Structure formats: C-alpha cells, structure tokens
A = this chain, B = another copy of it.
Amino acid sequence: MYNMGASTKPGYDIANKSREIVKSLIDDKTKDLTYEERDIVERVVHSTADPDYASLVKISNDFVDSALKSFNNKEDILTDINMVKSGITRYDGKVSCYIRDELSRKMAKSEDITRSAAAIRVAVEDGFKGVVAIGNAPTALLEVIKMHKANEIDVKAVVGVPVGFVGASESKELLSKTDIPHVITTGPKGGTPIAVAVINSLLNINKN
C-alpha cells in the first residue's frame, strides 16, 4: 500500500488506484530502474499527472543511498521556497527555508543577487548540512553548485528540479555534471510538486 500523504481509508484507496494507473502508463520507461528509483519516478508522475516526467527525471546512481543516509542521520533538508517545505510534513529532522528571512532580503540587496541565491548562503551560515531540494529557482541551484565547488557547503544530495524557460535547463545540466548525488528533470519542466514527490518518496521508503 502506498502512503502518498493519505491518512484515511478513502484517501489511501484513491492513492493506490492512482499509482496502479501511473505504473501502467510508464512501466516500460522505468523497468531498468531500482525499486527506490522507480518509486521516485512513479510518485513524480502521480503528483503531476504528467507521464512525460518518466522520460525527464534523471537520477544519479549514488542519489538514493546518499540521500537516505542523510535522512537516517537526521540531517537537514533545505528548500528554496516555502511551497516545497510545506509539502514535506513527515520528516523527523529539520526542514528549513530562508527565502523570507530578513538576512536573505538584506544580502540579496547588498550583493545584487536573487533572494533565492542569498537564502542558500544564509542557510549555510546557519549551519546547514544535508539534502537540498530546489523546485523553483535556478539561481538557488547555481548557488549550491558554486558553493560546493568552493567546498563551502556540506551537501549530501540535491533534488534540482527548478522550472522555467530562463536558466532552469542550464542550471540542471550543470548539476548533472558535478559529483553531487542528484535528481534533475531535463528541459524547462520541473517545479515544487516534483521536488516534494522525490523527497517524500524516500522518506516513505525509509519508514517502511
């Protein structure tokens, strides 16, 4: 039985029926994946009702192990915007987002960077260590990559699925060329539900 945020019998029934339909739609595209990777892809398609994601989601070989280890160690989950944070409700560790932090606002102005990028730096100053989930802002993802290259961030895995026609594809391609364990979606598509689906898939596996 799939736990997809449902907490009642009618809720579970809907979630299970949906997952069976998802499986039937994308089975041929996920057959070479591990159990955990298949769960991630199915959950993304479930949460978007968009089977295209079965072809767009790319998971690095070390992603599942690295992210699960971080979760088991109760390290942090850092998100780019609060919508992603709001979707992660079943984690025992800290889930944080600094986009609306006063420090992020000030740093964005003083450094002439986006508030999304500033929020990553503020998180690091606040002691972040763990998994980053980016569902919206390419500039946040670029900041993570930059800080990783400079050995300034202790990041164990990145769910990098920013959305949009300006900079999103490029930022994801850059991530895929780093040694950071990662999930990306190729092309402009992505978004907060995809970031949430990837994280919740692993958290759910972790509890079963």
Contact = CB atoms under 8 A, between A and B. Distances in A.
A14 to B, nearest CB: 5
A11 B108 CA distance: 10
For chain A, the bracket of interface size reads: 35 or more
A199 interface: no
A-side interface mostly:
helix
Interface string A149-184: 000000000000001111110000000000000000
A112 interface: yes
Given A21-B166, A86-B82, A87-B83, A113 B49 contact: no
Interface of A: 6-11, 14, 17-18, 21-22, 46-50, 81-83, 85-87, 89, 100, 105, 108-109, 112-116, 138-139, 163-168, 187-193, 196
Contact of A139 (B10, B17, B114): B10
A18 B165 contact: yes
A108 B7 contact: yes
Contact of A10 (B14, B105, B114, B164): B114
B83 A167 contact: no
A112 B10 CA distance: 7
A165 B15 CA distance: 9
Given A49-B164, A49-B189, A11 B115 contact: yes
